């Protein structure tokens, strides 16, 4: 939505005159992961615990070589996302100039969320999609994560929007790179 010749009282003006897009891009940068995050690799940790508890053929699932391969895949996918978050957090808090990093983190999270849930589903079988009942060993967590991975493809812009933002921030197809929104002063 664009407004032309709109008048705003000076006391209600956020970010100064004609800086609306700069203010909006700051919020978008945070939404896209530019603020970073510090956290554990909780989905991998949960998967390991569940694999220790779940039995296949009378043995803990974690003893199966194919299950360990799936766990390794889950670890790599989740750890890269965690490391992007740490990098962005460090850059943000140390006032490093950010470019494509927030959108890169968002793009990676959007695309790998489905890969992680696919690996979890293949590791734990159809019971990973059950919420409630005798077969729900995760107490609904896997079911919720699977549904969330599908719906998280769009908020903050689709994966294609993130690719466009990365290209603009790197200056691809332009004379000059577009600056990322400032998230910390």
What residue segments make up the domains of the chain, in order of their start?
Answer: 10-170
Residue 59 predicted with pLDDT over 90: yes
What distance in Å separates the CA atoms of residue 98 and residue 182, rounded to the nearest whole number? Answer: 8
* Tokens, residue 160: 């294609």
Q: Which CATH number describes the domain made up of 10-170? A: 1.20.140.10
Match 């979890």 to its residue by tokens.
120
Residues 6+ away with beta carbon under 8 Å from 45: none
Distances (CA, A) of 170 to 110, 134, 156, 175: 20, 51, 19, 10
Question: What is the pLDDT, as a whole number, of residue 48?
Answer: 95
What distance in Å separates the CA atoms of residue 83 and residue 1, rounded to the nearest whole number? Answer: 36
Confidence of residue 87 (pLDDT cuts 50, 70, 90): very high
The one-character DSSP state at 175 is S
Least confident of 36-45, 90-99, 131-140: 131-140
In this structure, are residues 117 and 145 in contact, taking their beta carbons and an 8 Å threshold?
yes
| Better pLDDT: 56 or 129 | 56
Q: Tell me the per-residue pLDDT of 143-182, one tens digit each, with 9 for 90 and over.
A: 888 888 888 887 777 888 888 888 988 888 888 888 777 7
Confidence of residue 184 (pLDDT cuts 50, 70, 90): low
Sequence-ordered strand ranges (E) for the chain: 55-56, 59-60
What distance in Å separates the CA atoms of residue 82 and residue 39, rounded to the nearest whole number? Answer: 7
pLDDT mean over 57-78: 95
Per the prediction, the chain carries an average pLDDT of 84
pLDDT mean over 79-104: 90
What distance in Å separates the CA atoms of residue 88 and residue 92, rounded to the nearest whole number? Answer: 6
Residue 15 predicted with pLDDT over 60: yes
Confidence of residue 28 (pLDDT cuts 50, 70, 90): low
| Better pLDDT: 77 or 24 | 77
């Amino acid at each position: 939505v664009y407004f032309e010749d709109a008048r705003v009282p000076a006391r209600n003006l956020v970010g100064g005159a004609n800086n609306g897009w700069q203010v909006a891009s700051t919020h978008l940068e945070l939404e896209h992961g530019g603020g970073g995050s510090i956290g554990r690799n909780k989905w991998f940790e949960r998967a390991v615990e569940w694999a220790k508890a779940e039995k296949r053929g009378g043995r803990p699932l974690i003893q199966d070589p194919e299950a360990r391969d799936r766990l390794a895949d889950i670890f790599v996918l989740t750890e890269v996302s965690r490391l992007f978050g740490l990098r962005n957090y460090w850059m943000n808090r140390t006032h490093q100039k950010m470019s494509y990093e927030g959108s890169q983190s968002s793009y990676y999270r959007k695309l790998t969320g489905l890969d992680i849930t696919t690996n979890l589903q293949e590791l734990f079988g159809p019971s990973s999609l059950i919420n409630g009942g005798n077969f729900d060993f995760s107490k609904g967590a896997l079911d919720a994560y699977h549904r969330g991975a599908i719906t998280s493809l769009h908020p903050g812009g689709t994966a294609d929007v993130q690719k466009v933002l990365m290209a603009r921030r790197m200056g691809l197809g332009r004379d000059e790179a577009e600056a990322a929104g400032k998230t910390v002063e």
